Structure 1
């Protein structure tokens, strides 16, 4: 039998595939900023008891697979991660970031992960190579 997580009055398994982008879809997540974003995300998830199942930051968007306890709404978690990561990135890289602390664009994509968890994790893990193949295909067709 599958092992589920548990809280005081509930047994649960709530996994979500989440994607969001930097403001104006700028290609800002690379090098030190990308590494620091990973550290920040792991730390924020740990603080809230959220399991970061899989994650990958591309230069212009972020893919996460999170296991979120049912005591938190998905909008609360995404807002928390975007808000806190933007503040910390701005503190660490204020010399590289222009303007205000609004780093992320409004909105996000979310999809529940059910029985196809392995497919979603594999998709996130190989996102970069998939995107590169699509770009090569697009250039060949033009």
Structure 2
């Protein structure tokens, strides 16, 4: 669109179904590259991806005409299919239903990037549940505990 200028950033978080520790260090980099390809093919930009064995964090730069829910749905469905086709886990791999998405201002990009980059250090003292609830509360998002985790 002519004369339309935007800077839209989203910090997206989603978990393995049941918060199981299924993302192995042996293939997580391949998974992250696969997810990056999905995002790139949808003409969006991945700034950073990282996570833990039970969840993933993404920092995205997006165009104004994209649908975040559709993109995250495609990331989750295609990446879970890819994990299952490659037989990286016993049984069937699936992501938990839903996701968290938080807007990020230009001034906070470095802070969020460093936070995502240092997931391993951060989670030595804080569980994913604690982290996720802190995000919801910091962004003043109403939530029902029974729907947070399966």
- After superposition, what is the alpha-carbon deviation per residue over 1:60-88, rounded to whole angstroms, capped at 9, x for unaligned? 11011011211111111111111111111
Q: Does 2:91 match 1:91?
A: no
Q: Does 2:34 match 1:40?
A: yes
What TM-score do the two structures reach when normalised by structure 2? 0.76
- After superposition, what is the alpha-carbon deviation per residue over 1:48-67, rounded to whole angstroms, capped at 9, x for unaligned? 11111011021111011011
Shift of 1:32: 3.0
Structure 2: tracts of 5 or more residues without a match: 128-150
Aligned to 2:141: none
- After superposition, what is the alpha-carbon deviation per residue over 1:117-141, rounded to whole angstroms, capped at 9, x for unaligned? 1111111111110111447xxxxxx
SS at match of 2:80: helix
Count of matched residue pairs: 126
Aligned to 1:140: none
Structure 1: tracts of 5 or more residues without a match: 1-6, 136-142
Query: Could you say what the CA RMSD is over the residues aligned between the two structures, in angstroms?
Result: 1.8
Aligned to 1:4: none
What TM-score do the two structures reach when normalised by structure 1? 0.80
Q: Does 2:123 match 1:123?
A: no
Q: Which protein has the larger Cα radius of gyration, Structure 1 or Structure 2?
A: 1
SS at match of 2:56: strand
